[in-house]
Structure 1
Amino acid sequence: MMNNSSRPWWDELSWDQSGQCRTSVSSTTFLIVAYSAVIAVGLIGNTCLVFIISRQKEMRNVTNIFIANLSCSDILMCIVCLPVTVIYTLMDRWILGEALCKVTPFVQCMSVTVSIFSMVLIALERHQLIIHPTGWKPVVGHSYLAVAVTWMVACFISLPFLSFNILTNAPFQNLSLPYNPFTDHVICMELWPSERNRLAYTTSLLLFQYCLPLSLILVCYLRIFLRLRRRKDMVERTRDPRQKKAKGSKRVNVMLASIVAVFALCWLPLNVFNTLFDWHHWAIPSCQHDIIFSACHLTAMASTCVNPVIYGFLNSNFQKELRAALYRCRCWGAPESYESFPLSTVSMEVTKMSSLSVIT
């Protein structure tokens, strides 16, 4: 999911070539503005989502705990990884010390793993509630245990970055110059015992951080979609006057489709780039390496902004809770009165007509 040796291949460039690879002022400005916007929106949106969920006791249900866990991993990404990525991409050398060289890719891999596993847990929980409404139902205690296991597994998966990320100045030593001004410059890169080990690990990350979770999510949401559609047809056949349920079912379907589509689309470019880089790095033009990587990485990081929108800001109850919180700070208008429902939950009541309490 990430390219930690994402620097230009300096050891394959001559001095004349490297001089032609300088980043323009406009592209540098765009990167700074775009990454800054992603950091700001991601931090504000996810912090608001966690705050709203944590402040209301009735909102601490299984789904919301998973959503808050997803937001926490996105917050960690915005605080640690995004600023470092901007600095490293613009400087083309590492100036942040050995500790951050090891910790940053470790945190990024861990955060991405937690985010994806949280989406899988949300999909599995919704699948259980909708497909088997009378069967076993996870409780809050189970969700906290699942969150703890998710973080432990993510830490274990990310451990190789702590071992194999190093600082080195070897690329700058290969420059053929009468006087080399870059002898004290270093880069942060992966140094594995063998190329086979590196490819095995990166390929495993691609499978366990993208392909397999996405496949499982697709299966869960496809079954949910088909079940909701069947229930909607049953309601229409009985001419149920409660049209709000039919409208809510449509909203559920749109939200479920959006979750899968945004997750897949945001991370697809970076996964394609990393796969190409790992197996055929010579196919990527040396001078375009950084700009291509930055575009793919920025697209992937945009998922930290989209999640609060999908899970929170399209939720009317979340908006009302946020307005009420701002009103208490004397920053907003009068609070709206409404019946408080937990975010993104499905009613577990089952009637003879299999009616569904929609996500509102």
Structure 2
Amino acid sequence: MDDTGGPTLCFPDLNSSCRRLPRPRSDAAPLYTLLAFVSLLTVTLNLLVIISISHFRQLHTPTNTLLLSLAVSDLVVGLLVMPIEGLRYMETCWLLGRLMCALTPYVSYCLLSASLGNMVLISIDRYLAICDPLLYSSKITLTNVIIFICLCWACSLLYNGLILMEHLRWPDRFSSCHGECVVVISHISGIVDLFITFVGPCTVMVVLYLRVFVVVISQVRVIRLQTVTTAVTAAPTAKKSERKAARTLGIVIAVFLMCFCPYYYPSLAGEDTSNNLSYFAVLSWIMLMNSCMNPLIYALFYRWFRKALKLIFTLEILKPHSREVKIL
């Protein structure tokens, strides 16, 4: 029989400590196991994506560099954000101190904003590759993409520093007792954040992918006509691999939107966004699960990722000249 022992203090030596609501062991053990599994799976899958794209020279393309940046942010989410958020809700106490209370939300928000920025860059990349392949091959270089990725991360760090400025200065200003880490974003700031980091970028992504969809359909018709007629003087069309990549990345963005939309419910409902809300844990974990979903989508739809996994697990990548293996 489980004995929860009733409410105890987060810090027994402090009179100002918050009360802890311990969970029955029968509930805690499976939840901790699930948390560890999800976090480990997220780290492992994204690490495999990073190794694949970094190791094989044939994968050093602008599009894959954007996927690499996205995988880095997702890996850090699984490595840091998931365990810390899991510990917060499992223990019902903040045990990591004032400094970590200030930094953890900032790091989490930066990673999620960077993921969104990477998604927008991926949408632009696919749009140019499909709709203007001549411009893409001449203008979208690896160097240019790296510059835009660096700008994306820099903007994320700066923007979230402004949004969380008051929290970074005074992380315990909304805490009622010792053992809480309450982050509150006012309704006005939440509305601004909703449009800057969600509505605006998502509108760009949806519009670009609708345009890509229309162009892909028209190109398929052109290709069919070319196979029937002898004339092949039609305008340049994107490669089949480019169209497949656009479709796969469209699925990635659709999953991204489904995971991120619930997080902005408080702003839409006219409430302050706070991690102290009763339902915030659910919204937060739906959003965090996106970091685990992306590499699973790659494994399902990218043949090069499945081939890279085979070479990694069979230790073929340790052989000389394995970087030059044809993987596409």
Q: Quick check: TM above 0.5?
A: yes
Q: Which residue of 2 aligns with 1:205?
A: 193
Aligned CA distance change for structure 1 residues 280 and 55 (closer, same or farther; 3 Å): closer
State whether residues 35 and 298 of structure 1, in contact with CA within 8 Å, keep that contact through their aligned partners in structure 2: no
* CA–CA separation in structure 2 for the residues paired with 1:73 and 1:54: 15
1:59 deviates by 1.3
1:204 deviates by 2.0
Aligned CA distance change for structure 1 residues 280 and 202 (closer, same or farther; 3 Å): closer
1:156 deviates by 0.3
Q: Which residue of 1 aligns with 2:327?
A: 340
Q: Which residue of 1 aligns with 2:55?
A: 55
Pick from 298, 302, 306 the counterpart of residue 293 of structure 2.
306
Q: Which residue of 1 aligns with 2:309?
A: 322
Matches within 5 A, 1:123-162: 123-136=123-136, 137-160=139-162, 161=164
1:78 deviates by 1.5
Higher RCO (CA-CA < 8 Å; seq separation 6+): 1
* CA–CA separation in structure 1 for the residues paired with 2:56 and 2:94: 43
Report sequence identity in percent.
19
* CA–CA separation in structure 2 for the residues paired with 1:280 and 1:208: 15
Q: Which amino acid aligns with 1:278?
A: E
1:168 deviates by 5.5
Pick from 219, 225, 240 the counterpart of residue 231 of structure 1.
219
- The alignment status of 1:215 with 2:203, answered yes or no, reads yes
**1:63-116 deviation digits (Å, cap 9, x = unpaired):** 111100001011111122111111111222221011111111110110011101
**1:104-163 deviation digits (Å, cap 9, x = unpaired):** 111011001110100110110111121111225310100111111111101001114354
- Residue ranges of structure 1 left out of the alignment (5+ in a row): 1-17, 173-184, 192-196, 342-360
TM-score, with normalisation over the residues of structure 2? 0.77
Q: Which amino acid aligns with 1:262?
A: V
Q: Which residue of 2 aligns with 1:92?
A: 92
State whether residues 232 and 249 of structure 1, in contact with CA within 8 Å, keep that contact through their aligned partners in structure 2: no
Q: Which amino acid aligns with 1:143?
A: V
Aligned length: 293
Q: Which residue of 2 aligns with 1:107?
A: 107
Deviates more, 1:81-90 or 1:255-264: 255-264
* CA–CA separation in structure 2 for the residues paired with 1:154 and 1:294: 23
1:186 is paired with a residue whose SS is: coil
TM-score, with normalisation over the residues of structure 1? 0.71
**1:253-275 deviation digits (Å, cap 9, x = unpaired):** 64244123201111122221454
Aligned CA distance change for structure 1 residues 56 and 149 (closer, same or farther; 3 Å): same
1:293 deviates by 2.2
1:278 is paired with a residue whose SS is: coil
Aligned CA distance change for structure 1 residues 34 and 270 (closer, same or farther; 3 Å): farther
**1:28-71 deviation digits (Å, cap 9, x = unpaired):** 55643443232112101110001000001221111111100001
1:167 is paired with a residue whose SS is: coil
2:181 is paired with a residue whose SS is: strand
State whether residues 102 and 162 of structure 1, in contact with CA within 8 Å, keep that contact through their aligned partners in structure 2: no
Q: Aligned-residue CA RMSD in angstroms? A: 3.4
Aligned CA distance change for structure 1 residues 254 and 131 (closer, same or farther; 3 Å): closer
* CA–CA separation in structure 2 for the residues paired with 1:140 and 1:306: 26
Q: Which residue of 2 aligns with 1:351?
A: none
- Residue ranges of structure 2 left out of the alignment (5+ in a row): 1-17, 230-237
2:94 is paired with a residue whose SS is: coil
Q: Which residue of 1 aligns with 2:257?
A: 264
1:32 is paired with a residue whose SS is: helix
* CA–CA separation in structure 2 for the residues paired with 1:208 and 1:28: 38
Aligned CA distance change for structure 1 residues 169 and 150 (closer, same or farther; 3 Å): closer
Pick from 169, 172, 179 the counterpart of residue 167 of structure 1.
172
* CA–CA separation in structure 1 for the residues paired with 2:94 and 2:272: 25
* CA–CA separation in structure 2 for the residues paired with 1:236 and 1:263: 33
Q: Which amino acid aligns with 1:93?
A: C
1:26 deviates by 6.3
State whether residues 42 and 305 of structure 1, in contact with CA within 8 Å, keep that contact through their aligned partners in structure 2: yes
